[in-house]
């Protein structure tokens, strides 16, 4: 595969951008290659600057559930742009997108738009602290809630990928106010939440973890979390930046039947433009300025182009049977990969929730951070490079998910399965 132009762009980028990238996982260090520079994308395909075409399973890390450059979304963005790109004042589209979100997600009575998932989680935690008057945030090892200070303790995504234990620059006081406990461990959960001396304001959780690879909640994990937080007056925050509008139109909370106090959204609700949101019970949301004292603001919040893209995306997702169809396709691919692994004799774990999936190179079930990091990341790196050489673009880290979109056809998935079989056999040759 020719990657000369990407290679020279990466050298140029490294001179003016730290690491040559604007988000660390994209540097592809853990899979042992340099990043490709992308020129354009359409449907399930990505095209790089050297003219290579790839079947894309990153989907911009989640937003592209309809595939790239969907005509209805592009049209909505172009139409909105004709009328101006930012006003710093309320627009009708903000009410439309907010109403769609409130109708879709049953626990959300009011919603505030921001510009990214990180802004959403950071603002939701401030709100929880302001509402409860308490200080401590409880999170789970290997979950990732963006890069705000309180969340980098034992975090997933790029923090695990690069093996960084936390981050310099996060003050000790902040670390002291964040408690990180194992995902799916009910005993530790109960002991921690019942420890009154911690003064816990909120628990934040990915209801299906997507940043240590895909890790599903154990039966009773989310319902126990809900019951305990309710009794103890702790605000329960679901980070649905990945799962929102992905696992179903009502998110993971609809699938698992557990209703949080606050929900963070991002990715899909922006239709590929930068949007985040946090919402929940009116009683809590009304503590935000200007109605209440908890401050949060943003020049580009509710941006008209982003709102138009989000509205168009959500309308497409209302199509009858959309999520069942996506789930069927994803289950088909997971089943094929499982069969192939068994047939060739390679020990892997395939974790899947709807159209989110991770193939872990380990023989033990992956249920939390400790089991996720037992995966053989060297093998993942080789698999990644082999798949890339055959036109399949996977996440450049063992600890991320594959995103399947409506644009992937069964032929695309069959091709992916064939290439996976070839790659697995090659891995076993050495
Ligand atoms: N935090 C993202 C993955 N979970 C990576 C974002 C990016 O590199 O674009």
d(CA 403, CA 216): 15
Note the pLDDT of residue 165: 60
Give the model's confidence band at 430: pLDDT under 50 very low, under 70 low, under 90 confident, else very high. low
The neighbouring-strand residues paired with 200 are: 136
Domain ranges of the chain: 4-69+321-428, 71-317
Q: How many alpha carbons fall within 13 Å on the CB side of residue 2? A: 7
69's CB contacts (< 8 A; 6+ apart) are 40, 41, 42, 43
> Does residue 110 contact residue 285 with C-beta atoms inside 8 Å?
yes
Tokens of 85: 């790109």
Q: Cα(309) to centroid of ligand 1, in Å?
A: 20
Note the pLDDT of residue 64: 98
> Does residue 19 contact residue 12 with C-beta atoms inside 8 Å?
no
> Does residue 261 contact residue 237 with C-beta atoms inside 8 Å?
yes
Closest residue (by CA) to atom 9 of ligand 1? Answer: 23
424's CB contacts (< 8 A; 6+ apart) are 340, 341, 344, 346, 383
- With a cut of 90, say whether residue 149 has pLDDT above it: no
CATH topology for the 71-317 domain: 3.40.640
Q: Cα(92) to centroid of ligand 1, in Å?
A: 31
Q: Strand 38-42's sheet: what is its strand order?
A: 38-42, 45-48, 53-56, 392-393
Average pLDDT over residues 182-195: 97
- Burial (CB < 10 A; 0-12, 13-18, 19+), residue 22, is exposed
- The single residue listed with the structure tokens 């963070």 is 264
- With a cut of 90, say whether residue 208 has pLDDT above it: yes
N- to C-terminal Cα distance for the chain? Answer: 22
Give the model's confidence band at 87: pLDDT under 50 very low, under 70 low, under 90 confident, else very high. very high
* Residue 400 in contact with ligand 1 by CB distance below 6 A: yes
Note the pLDDT of residue 158: 76
Average pLDDT over residues 270-295: 98
Q: Alpha carbon of 186 to those of 218, 222, 276: distances in Å?
A: 9, 10, 30
CA–chain centroid gap for 206, Å, is 9
CA–chain centroid gap for 403, Å, is 10
Three-state DSSP at 217 gives: coil
> Does residue 241 contact residue 309 with C-beta atoms inside 8 Å?
no
> Does residue 367 contact residue 373 with C-beta atoms inside 8 Å?
no
- With a cut of 90, say whether residue 296 has pLDDT above it: yes
What's the pLDDT tens digit per position in 349-361? 999 999 999 999 9
- Share the mean pLDDT of the chain: 96
Question: Which of the residue ranges 110-119, 171-180, 187-196, 383-392 would you say has the lowest mean pLDDT?
Answer: 171-180
Q: Cα(328) to centroid of ligand 1, in Å?
A: 26
Three-state DSSP at 371 gives: helix
Average pLDDT over residues 211-229: 98
What's the pLDDT tens digit per position in 15-38? 999 999 999 999 999 999 999 999
Which atom of ligand 1 is the closest one to the Cα of 21? 8
* Residue 26 in contact with ligand 1 by CB distance below 6 A: yes
103's CB contacts (< 8 A; 6+ apart) are none
Q: What contacts 24+ positions apart, CB below 8 Å, involve 170-178? A: 174/149, 174/150, 177/135, 177/136, 177/137, 177/150, 178/136, 178/137, 178/138, 178/139, 178/150, 178/151, 178/153
Which atom of ligand 1 is the closest one to the Cα of 24? 8
Q: How many alpha carbons fall within 13 Å on the CB side of residue 417? A: 21
**Residues 48, 141, 239, 368: which is the catalytic one?**
239
Q: Alpha carbon of 302 to those of 43, 114, 173, 263, 295: distances in Å?
A: 26, 7, 33, 17, 16
- Burial (CB < 10 A; 0-12, 13-18, 19+), residue 242, is buried
When the candidates are 3.40.50.150, 1.20.120.420, 3.90.1150.10, 3.60.10.10, the CATH number that belongs to 4-69+321-428 is 3.90.1150.10
Note the pLDDT of residue 161: 74
267: nearest Cα among 229, 317, 219:
317
User: Global pTM?
Assistant: 0.96
């Amino acid at each position: 595969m020719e990657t000369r132009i990407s290679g020279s762009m990466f050298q140029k980028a490294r001179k003016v951008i730290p690491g040559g990238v604007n988000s660390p996982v994209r540097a592809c260090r853990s899979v042992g290659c340099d990043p490709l520079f992308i020129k354009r994308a359409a449907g399930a395909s990505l095209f790089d600057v050297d003219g290579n075409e790839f079947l894309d399973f990153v989907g911009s890390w989640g937003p592209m559930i309809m595939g790239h450059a969907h005509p209805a979304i592009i049209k909505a963005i172009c139409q909105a742009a004709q009328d101006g790109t930012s006003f710093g004042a309320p627009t009708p589209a903000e009410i439309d997108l907010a109403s769609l979100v409130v109708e879709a997600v049953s626990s959300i009575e009011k919603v505030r738009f921001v510009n990214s998932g990180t802004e959403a989680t950071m603002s939701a935690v401030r709100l929880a602290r302001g509402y409860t008057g308490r200080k401590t945030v409880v999170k789970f090892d290997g979950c990732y809630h963006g890069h705000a200070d309180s969340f980098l303790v034992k975090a997933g995504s790029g923090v695990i990928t690069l093996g960084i234990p936390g981050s310099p620059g996060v003050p000790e006081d902040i670390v002291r106010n964040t408690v990180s406990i194992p995902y799916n461990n009910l005993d530790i959960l109960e002991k921690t939440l019942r420890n009154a001396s911690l003064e816990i304001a909120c628990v934040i959780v990915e209801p299906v973890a997507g940043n240590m690879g895909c890790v599903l909640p154990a039966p009773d994990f989310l319902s126990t979390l809900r019951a305990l937080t309710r009794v103890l007056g702790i605000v329960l925050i679901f980070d649905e930046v990945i799962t929102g509008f992905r696992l179903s139109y009502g998110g993971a909370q609809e699938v698992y039947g557990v209703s949080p106090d606050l929900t963070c959204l991002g990715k899909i609700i922006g239709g590929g433009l930068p949007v985040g949101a946090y919402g929940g019970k009116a009683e809590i949301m009304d503590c935000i300025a200007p109605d209440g004292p908890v401050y949060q603001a943003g020049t580009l919040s509710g941006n008209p182009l982003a709102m138009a893209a989000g509205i168009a995306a959500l309308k497409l997702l209302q199509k009858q049977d959309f999520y069942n169809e996506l789930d069927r396709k994803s289950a088909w691919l997971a089943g094929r990969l499982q069969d192939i692994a068994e047939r060739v004799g390679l020990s892997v774990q395939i974790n899947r929730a709807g159209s989110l999936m991770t193939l872990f190179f380990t023989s033990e079930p992956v249920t939390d951070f400790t089991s996720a990091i037992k995966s053989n990341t060297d093998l993942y790196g080789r698999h990644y490079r082999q798949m890339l050489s055959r036109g399949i673009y996977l996440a450049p880290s063992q600890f991320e998910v594959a995103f399947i979109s409506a644009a992937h056809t069964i032929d695309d998935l069959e091709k992916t399965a064939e290439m996976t079989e070839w790659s697995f056999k090659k891995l076993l040759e050495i």
